[in-house]
Amino acid sequence: MPQPRHIFLRSIFALALLVGLPAGAGAQQQAASDGENDTYELNEILQKTEEFFGSTTEGLAKAIEKVFAEQGKPNAYVTGEEVSGAVGIGVRYGDGMLNRKAGEARKVYWQGPSIGFDFGGNASKVLVLIYHLPDTESLFQRFPAVDGSFYFVAGVGVNYQQSGDIILAPIRTGVGLRAGVNVGYMHYTKEHSWIPL
């Protein structure tokens, strides 16, 4: 026959399980909900794009939809402008505003080199969709281009850059010509720099 002490301990253990399980499940649901609240829906990004670009062209909308289909919902984005040029070796400079639901907007800069079968120059407005950004400071580093990720959607250029789990998807539309294939990286910084490294 079980001792009263054992019965008491078993009862406490069972009660702890009954109380602990729902609380744990609720915490997981809350964490999932919080994570969902930190991301942007497609219609939110399309609206921000229209505000920034003045209108959302069919090509721009298709490019954004393609990135959403491949990567899901971003938890940050940058709207900005950049200039670039290349004759075999190229450079790119840009600046814009980083926006996160979980934090204040702030100014960011980027610059980077490239090398390859590439020529021309352009000036463009840029929307950068950002995935898995844990905090603002994590953006300030070098992001190599992902091989084979460059494509055009109705005249709008899209490519992926990645460092660790963080994925960036710059979407560019603008004037000028920049054709060819190149490899390189983008360095995102807190201050403007003319040194594209």
DSSP assignment of 146-163 equals PTT--EEETTEEE--EEE
Per the document, the length of the chain is 197
Q: What is the pTM of this model?
A: 0.74
Tell me the pLDDT tens digit for each residue of 38-82: 899 999 999 999 998 887 678 889 999 999 999 999 999 999 998
Tell me the pLDDT tens digit for each residue of 152-185: 766 788 889 999 999 999 988 764 444 444 456 7
Q: Is the pLDDT of residue 130 over 90?
A: yes
